[in-house]
Amino acid sequence: MASSPSFHMYSLPTCIMCLCVLIETTSGQLSANFYGSSCPNFSSIISSAVNSAVSNEARMGASLLRLHFHDCFVNGCDASVLLDDSANFTGEKTAGPNNNSLRGFDVIDTIKSQLENSCPGVVSCADMLAAAARDSVVALGGPSWNLTFGRRDSTTASLSAANSNIPAPTLNLSGLITSFSNQGFTTNEMVALSGSHTIGQARCTVFRARIYNETNINSSLATSLRANCPSSGGDNNLSPLDVVSPTSFDNAYFSNLLNQNGLLHSDQELFNNGSTDAQVRTYSSNAATFSTDFANAMVKMSNLNPLTGSSGEVRTNCRRTN
Residue 68 counted as an annotated binding residue: no
Q: Which whole number is the average pLDDT over 164-169?
A: 97
Which pLDDT does position 28 carry in this prediction? 52
Regarding whether 295 and 179 lie in a shared domain, the answer is: yes
Total domain count for the chain?
A: 2
Q: Are residues 190 and 290 in the same domain?
A: yes
Considering the chain, what is the average pLDDT of its residues?
A: 92
The residue annotated as part of the active site, out of 8, 68, 70, 265, is: 70
> Is 197 annotated in some ligand binding site?
yes
User: Residue 13 above 90 pLDDT?
Assistant: no
Residues 162 and 280 in one domain: no
Whether 157 and 201 map to the same domain: the answer is no
Q: Is residue 11 part of a domain?
A: no
CA distance 105 to 117: 18
Q: 200 among the known binding-site residues?
A: no
CATH of the domain at 77: 1.10.520.10
Q: Is the dihedral of CA 27, 33, 34, 38 positive or negative?
A: negative
Are both 80 and 186 inside the same structural domain? Answer: no
Predicted local confidence at residue 46, as pLDDT: 98
pLDDT above 60 for 268: yes
**233/284 same-domain check:** yes
70 is catalytic: yes
* pLDDT (0 to 100) of residue 29: 86
Dump pLDDT digits (tens) for 175-230: 999 999 999 999 999 999 999 999 999 999 999 999 999 999 999 999 999 999 99
Structural contact between residues 283 and 251, judged by C-beta atoms closer than 8 angstroms: yes
The pLDDT tens digits of the residues spanning 21-43 come to 333 333 358 999 999 999 999 99
pLDDT at 10 over 50: no
Name beta bridge partners: 307.
Answer: 152
Cα 140 to the center of its chain, rounded Å:
14
- 101 contact partners, CB below 8 Å, separation of at least 6: 203
- For residue 267, pLDDT over 90 is answered with yes
Residue 14: predicted pLDDT:
39
Contact 95, 166 (CB under 8 A): yes
Segments forming the whole domain that contains residue 129: 42-166+302-311
In a domain, 229, yes or no: yes
The reply to whether 243 sits in an annotated binding site is no
Do 151 and 244 belong to one domain?
no
**Which of 13-27, 34-48, 152-166, 241-255 has the lowest average pLDDT?**
13-27
Q: Is residue 8 part of a domain?
A: no
